[in-house]
Structure 1
Amino acid sequence: MALQKFYQLYKKSEGKMDFDAIIIGSGIAGSTVAFYLAKNGWSVGILNKNEELYESNTYYAQGGIAYVAEDDSKDLFYDDIMNAGGGVCNPEAVKIVTEEAYDCVMELLVNEFNVEFSKNESGDFD
């Protein structure tokens, strides 16, 4: 389906398509970059190895969204990720996730896309 749409656009453009940026990959990283570039007026093309753009590792990731809430322990979260990764996690990447995931979730999912996550009685996210 997506390939057919692309082919129709390609034919219509006579073999030439111009973008300000081409993003390779349609997972959370590529989609987030594409979103912010487009939001700032860039024309963006996304290339994906699969026929449908939703086909990415992000789509199949299990475990939901994980981050350290303001009152949680970053050290314990780091240890949890490293243990769950069975020794193959990049420690520097895990440190970045530990430090920045909360702000990223709030900025993108809550502030930009207005995702309504469950909240506890005091109004904080569960």
Structure 2
Amino acid sequence: PRRKLYVYFVDFRAAFDGVRHDLLYSKLEDVGISPKFIRFLRGLYGQGSASVWGRDGLSEPFSIDQGVRQGCLLSPLLFAIYINDLTEVLPGGVVVGNTAIRALKYADDVVLLSDSASGLQESINA
């Protein structure tokens, strides 16, 4: 039988900037990434700082304590690990055969799925 399917397309492109380093390192440990590689990443991301050029000239340097590097080959993989457990915490979803599907993920794109408008709204709000 045909059923309605409600979908919501999320583009996390700007979300690369919102990756919390402490949470990323914890998730990397949880999936079994070697401590040596995590130390490498801590070194890569731990000393980040930036300045902004504006109307009044160059700002004072400020530390960067979140985000993955734009254009870095590792960033999509790090982001995928960061959001990997997203589907475990989302409510709702649809059942196809014997499989419950809450979301589809690819790189920085996510599609939320539901069999009702209210269920989809609940997933969006989560």
TM bin, normalised by shorter chain, reads: under 0.3
| Alignment TM-score, normalising by the size of structure 1 | 0.24
Higher normalized helix content (fraction of residues): 1
User: Which is bigger in relative contact order (C-alpha 8 A, separation at least 6)?
Assistant: 2
Higher normalized strand content (fraction of residues): 2
| Alignment TM-score, normalising by the size of structure 2 | 0.24
